[in-house]
Chain A
Amino acid sequence: KAGVTQTPRYLIKTRGQQVTLSCSPISGHRSVSWYQQTPGQGLQFLFEYFSETQRNKGNFPGRFSGRQFSNSRSEMNVSTLELGDSALYLCASSLSGSFSYNEQFFGPGTRLTVL
């Protein structure tokens, strides 16, 4: 079974631009979560999508948004990029589970550098 894939793996942007990252979950997984990893803040939860609906959201500004398609693939968008948005963005998928916890499987991440 193929794992979680993320594209692109590396991205360089300049301040003020916007960026879209893509995540394809493991086949059959319906939940996709996004995390930001920085040296100072560690791994922080951005948001989670399930059945094309945002089910939970972390404490990030509105410049960070996402969506999920009917095939469970997900994209996240960051508008008006700031230097502090430079980070590794990780996507994780799991089966589902409103009332139980399912193990999350992570992709390799997209390394975003903002100049």
Chain B
Amino acid sequence: DQQVKQNSPSLSVQEGRISILNCDYTNSMFDYFLWYKKYPAEGPTFLISISSIKDKNEDGRFTVFLNKSAKHLSLHIVPSQPGDSAVYFCAASVTQGAQKLVFGQGTRLTINP
């Protein structure tokens, strides 16, 4: 049972344009969401997070949007840069309790010059 889904395995975007990565979840108990970026042969690196009491969180070029009614979140990267090429994972957690993250399958983002 995949509780967190990233339906696009890959995405290709022109440099300078906006990259939009999507994530859906099924468990309504999730109330904290994160995006991680992963390069080959490295562990995931935290990018940005959002609590369920918010619908938007911004950090520089990265913005995460949360639509609780649709159980959907998205990561916007603008403008996209070649160094953004990586695999992006969406993850969800229940705030109270242990530090257990449920990850999506990941989306490979390629930024073309």
Interface residues of A (CB under 8 A from B): 4, 31, 33, 35, 42-45, 48, 50, 55-56, 58, 90, 92, 94, 97-109
Count B interface residues, CB 8 Å: 25
Is B62 interfacial (CB 8 A cutoff)? no
Q: Which residues on the B side are within 8 Å of A33 (C-beta)?
A: 99-101
Of A45, A102, A109, the contact of B100 (CB 8 Å cutoff) = A45
Q: Which residues on the B side are within 8 Å of A104 (C-beta)?
A: 46, 99, 101
Q: Which residues on the B side are within 8 Å of A35 (C-beta)?
A: 101, 103
Give the number of residue pairs across the A-B interface with Cβ within 8 Å. 70
- Complex-state Cα separation, A41 to B36, whole angstroms: 17
CB distance from B94 to the nearest CB of A (A): 8
Of A92, A94, A98, the contact of B97 (CB 8 Å cutoff) = A98
CB distance from A109 to the nearest CB of B (A): 5
Q: Chain A interface secondary structure, helix, strand, loop or mixed?
A: strand
Q: Which residues on the A side are within 8 Å of B44 (C-beta)?
A: 43, 90, 106
CB distance from A36 to the nearest CB of B (A): 11
- Taking A90-B43, A92-B99 as known contacts, 9 extra A-B pairs with beta carbons closer than 8 A to each other, sorted by chain A number, are A33-B101, A35-B101, A42-B103, A43-B101, A92-B43, A99-B95, A99-B96, A103-B34, A108-B41
Interface contact A101-B41, CB-CB below 8 Å: no
Chain B 26-41, CB within 8 Å of chain A: the 1/0 string? 0000001010100001
- Complex-state Cα separation, A9 to B23, whole angstroms: 30
Q: Which residues on the B side are within 8 Å of A31 (C-beta)?
A: 98-99
- Complex-state Cα separation, A98 to B98, whole angstroms: 6
Q: Which residues on the A side are within 8 Å of B97 (C-beta)?
A: 56, 98
